[in-house]
Structure 1
Amino acid sequence: MTHLTLIPEKIKGTVTVPPSKSMAHRAVICASLAKGRSMITNIQLSDDMIATIAGMRSFGAVISYNDRTLTIEGVGNGSVQEKRIVDCNESGSTLRFLIPLATLFKGKTHFIGQGQLGKRPLEPYQELFDAQSLHYQLAATQNLQLSVEGPLTPGIYEMRGDISSQFITGMLLTLPLLAGDSILKITTPIESKGYIDLTLSVLRSFGIVIEQAEDGQEFRIKGQQVYIASDYTVEGDYSQAAFWLSAHALGNDLLVKGLDTASLQGDRAIVSILDTLNNCSTESECVIDGAQIPDIIPVVALVAALSKGTTKIIHLERLRIKESDRLVATQKELAALGANIAIVDDSLLIKGVSELAGGQEVWSHKDHRMAMMLAIASTVCKKPIHIKDTVCVKKSYPNFWETFEKLGGKIHEWNMG
């Protein structure tokens, strides 16, 4: 189902949200670095997760999957083949988490990828490898072609925090295994700080202890630590739940299950955001800071478009370097459906309307979160909408369309010819 026509229809029922992709990435990596056997339960094999599993296999971990559970025999810090290819597909998490980890193993690691992955920033690692005179070769090709070789040495590292928290997570996963102690200093405010909290939480579950300074900008990391094999259950994903919670806020009758109300996930903010938008009046001017929640901005913008008053979503610079230019994509496609939405610098300015007309051809921009947002939008449009490139949901939520249909969503395959 590459191109779909969605008929306006309210959806209803109970949804159990898929497991957190963010936490699953981290748990798989930690278990793979441990010595011994770990069981990671509540796993969904999205394209991104398949990429991380394949990457850890290339480092020597033995991983099998059965009934939503991964059994992982960890590699520890052992030896593997001296030349490895890691296919990251379109997963930025896989790429940025595994680049520093690759330096723990003898020989070169060659990273390849598809889609927009080769255009997403990697400068913090380039600077780090250059500073230690390590091999780092990025080919000037359309698709990602990157070769790296270590080893990293313990010491004091400085890294920007305003490009992506994924670079920080990659270092936090790696530095505890070095021969000596290290300090990681973050030189700018950390974007998506919630993801760092997730990293530290999963690390603790596998026996790794990292001391964070009170201001959150420095990490003190003991070397020669050992990942301890553990059984771990991945909690439900607030990033994916945001689509169903937003659908409910827009008048669909949904019960969303499988979420931890005490979760550290940054996208848990969707709950308070929806409450704020629901309480807006025609005179309201609501400001939402999107710096820490880039993955849920498209669906937040959808709800804001049908909320009373004016909503401004600020600090959206990083949306431009996601799977698509998500800032432009969100504005363009919602405007096509009838929303009053404009880009002002790196913000979205949205004036609420009473309904969305629909009746248009829109595009996912091959971005999974755009495709899912447009699906929810179809439930509140007056006329059918036609969405191009819908298979991209496989990146994070492979059974999204199946779930949408089970809830009563009306879908027809669309032949563009």
Structure 2
Amino acid sequence: MDVVVTPTPELRGSIQALSSKNYTTRYLLVAALAEGTSTIYHPAHSEDSDAMRRCIRDLGAELEEDGEKIVIKGFGSKPRDVRELNVGNAGAVLRFLMAVAALCPDVTFVNAYPDSLGKRPHDDLIVSLRQLGVEVDDHEGKLPITIRGGAPKGGNITVSGNVSSQFLSALLFLAPLLEEDSEIEVLDDLKSKVVVGQTLEVLEQAGIVIEASEDLMRYRVPGGQRYQARTYRVQGDYPGSAAVLAAAAVTRSEVTIHGLPEKSRQGERAVVDVLRMMETPLVHDGDDITVRGNGKLKAVEFDGDAATDAVLAMVAAAVYAEGTSRFYNVENLRYKECDRITDYLAELRKAGADVEEKRDEIIVHGKPEGLEGGVEINAHYDHRVIMALTVVGLRCRQPLRIRDAHHVAKSYPIFFDHLQALGANVQWQE
């Protein structure tokens, strides 16, 4: 389904932040890898987290859920022997479970989204898994992928961090369960170090011991460990909330989002700092963020590597800022559900934005007077692109029609419900 975004001058009200997708998927996984029963309070519901629920159930975990919590009896280091796993369009879920599948004799990950996840590369993780003695059949690093494991070995492992930190996180989930100790070295650069920090945080909460170098490029992982059954509480989701905060910044607004802790380790918390740099009136008090937007924004320069999933929303705000903004060190945006640099900027230009791209940069020449709009744009099946283009549509002079906007459900199923509750004129169209 498509969404039509009609110009909306004002947003007012308050909403509760969605629970964090990143933390939910990680808590679900460590609960499944534990021997015993874990409880996760306030887990996220999205296509990604639901894909993790479905797959760990297929692998032998027992799940019971009500409106407040999910209780999981894990399979420990012995997942069920399954022939196929379908992760939908969830890249992180695929990569984490490719590592877990090394404990199984023969698992094929099917290609359910050939035009999105089916195009994304996983070569770097495949190379590392082969170092563990795992056989992998793939299609030039892409789905469908078959893992033939059963008895992976520890030892010295290298992994490239150039494309995604998810490959490293996948190995960190697996390595503690191996009989031998492991030494993991990251080659090249390491993207999204903040997200690796979230993985290490969750592993520590699950009772796993890992020694990490200060620069997060080397790890010592003792073998023979066991995940502990624990109780977890999921915090609010900054990546999704970034789009709502950006929407409040580009309009006249008084919008409060509850459930976003000031001391969160989510890298996308930086959206608060960026909006302040843009001179957006904003107060962050405890777990509440209030934006009193006046639609007047100043250009910024920002290193986006630590806040990858908030960059597109910040770019959307910069479209209406006075001056030229620059978001750099963001090449890994090219390896997401779509090429979030080339594809996103192509759609922004259709709406009338003045934007440029370099290999690892997005440059925005702001138009405080607004954009013309009045066009149909393609979100490329990408939830972050859908949310960011919606922000842009609020300040266009004519409506924007966003194709296939239902894919927002990958991370934020009630995004448009939340915007409507704040007064945004957004309507579903067949």
> Which of 383, 387, 411 matches 2:402?
387
Q: Do the aligned residues in 1 keep the contact of 2:6 with 2:425 (CA within 8 Å)?
A: yes
Give the corresponding residue for 1:277. Answer: 278
Deviation for aligned residue 1:179? 0.7
Q: How does 1:127-142 map to 2 (within 5 A)?
A: 127-139=127-139
Deviation for aligned residue 1:335? 2.0
Give the corresponding residue for 2:414. Answer: 399
Deviation for aligned residue 1:330? 2.2
Counterpart of 1:390 in structure 2: which amino acid?
A
For 1:411 and 1:272, the matched residues in 2 are separated by 28
Deviation for aligned residue 1:169? 0.6
Q: How does 1:173-252 map to 2 (within 5 A)?
A: 173-251=173-251, 252=253
1:169-216 CA deviation, whole Å, 9 max, x = no partner? 101111011112111111222100011100011111111111111232
Secondary structure, counterpart of 1:298 in structure 2: helix
Give the corresponding residue for 1:309. Answer: 323
Q: Do the aligned residues in 2 keep the contact of 1:34 with 1:75 (CA within 8 Å)?
A: yes
Give the corresponding residue for 1:71. Answer: 71
Deviation for aligned residue 1:117? 1.2
Deviation for aligned residue 1:229? 0.5
1:264-308 CA deviation, whole Å, 9 max, x = no partner? 1111111111111227xx9x8742222233322221111111112
Deviation for aligned residue 1:48? 0.7
Deviation for aligned residue 1:139? 4.1
Is 1:5 aligned to 2:11, yes or no? no
Mind listing any 5+ residue stretches in structure 1 that lack a counterpart?
A: none
1:106-152 CA deviation, whole Å, 9 max, x = no partner? x21111133211221111222123344532011479x8311102222
Give the corresponding residue for 2:144. Answer: 145
Secondary structure, counterpart of 2:305 in structure 1: coil
For 2:129 and 2:217, the matched residues in 1 are separated by 21
Give the corresponding residue for 2:265. Answer: 264
For 1:133 and 1:49, the matched residues in 2 are separated by 29
Give the corresponding residue for 1:54. Answer: 54
Give the corresponding residue for 1:32. Answer: 32
> Which of 330, 336, 340 matches 2:350?
336
For 1:176 and 1:133, the matched residues in 2 are separated by 16
Q: Do the aligned residues in 2 keep the contact of 1:46 with 1:396 (CA within 8 Å)?
A: yes
CA distance change for structure 1 residues 32 and 345 in 2, over 3 Å: closer, same or farther? closer
Give the corresponding residue for 2:92. Answer: 93
For 1:7 and 1:50, the matched residues in 2 are separated by 31
CA distance change for structure 1 residues 68 and 391 in 2, over 3 Å: closer, same or farther? farther
> Which of 87, 112, 115 matches 1:114?
112
Q: Do the aligned residues in 1 keep the contact of 2:134 with 2:148 (CA within 8 Å)?
A: yes
Secondary structure, counterpart of 1:12 in structure 2: strand
Scaled by the length of structure 1, what TM-score is found? 0.93
For 2:361 and 2:46, the matched residues in 1 are separated by 30
For 1:215 and 1:97, the matched residues in 2 are separated by 22
For 1:163 and 1:349, the matched residues in 2 are separated by 21
Q: How does 1:157-176 map to 2 (within 5 A)?
A: 157-176=157-176
Counterpart of 1:75 in structure 2: which amino acid?
F
Q: Do the aligned residues in 1 keep the contact of 2:132 with 2:157 (CA within 8 Å)?
A: no
Is 1:367 aligned to 2:382, yes or no? yes
Q: Do the aligned residues in 2 keep the contact of 1:58 with 1:84 (CA within 8 Å)?
A: no
Deviation for aligned residue 1:68? 3.9
> Which of 387, 408, 411 matches 2:426?
411
Secondary structure, counterpart of 1:103 in structure 2: helix
Secondary structure, counterpart of 2:45 in structure 1: coil
Give the corresponding residue for 2:291. Answer: none
Mind listing any 5+ residue stretches in structure 2 that lack a counterpart?
A: 281-295
Scaled by the length of structure 2, what TM-score is found? 0.90
Deviation for aligned residue 1:382? 1.9
1:2-23 CA deviation, whole Å, 9 max, x = no partner? 0122221232210211111111
Percent identity over paired residues: 31
CA distance change for structure 1 residues 278 and 337 in 2, over 3 Å: closer, same or farther? farther
Counterpart of 2:341 in structure 1: which amino acid?
L
For 1:285 and 1:181, the matched residues in 2 are separated by 49
> Which of 373, 381, 389 matches 1:358?
373
Q: Do the aligned residues in 1 keep the contact of 2:299 with 2:321 (CA within 8 Å)?
A: no
Q: Do the aligned residues in 1 keep the contact of 2:35 with 2:228 (CA within 8 Å)?
A: yes
1:203-234 CA deviation, whole Å, 9 max, x = no partner? 11111111111232111111111111011011
Q: Do the aligned residues in 2 keep the contact of 1:64 with 1:71 (CA within 8 Å)?
A: yes
1:232-277 CA deviation, whole Å, 9 max, x = no partner? 0110011011011112222332111111111111111111111112
Counterpart of 2:263 in structure 1: which amino acid?
A
For 1:407 and 1:302, the matched residues in 2 are separated by 18
Secondary structure, counterpart of 1:313 in structure 2: strand
Give the corresponding residue for 1:376. Answer: 391
Deviation for aligned residue 1:45? 2.0
Secondary structure, counterpart of 1:70 in structure 2: strand
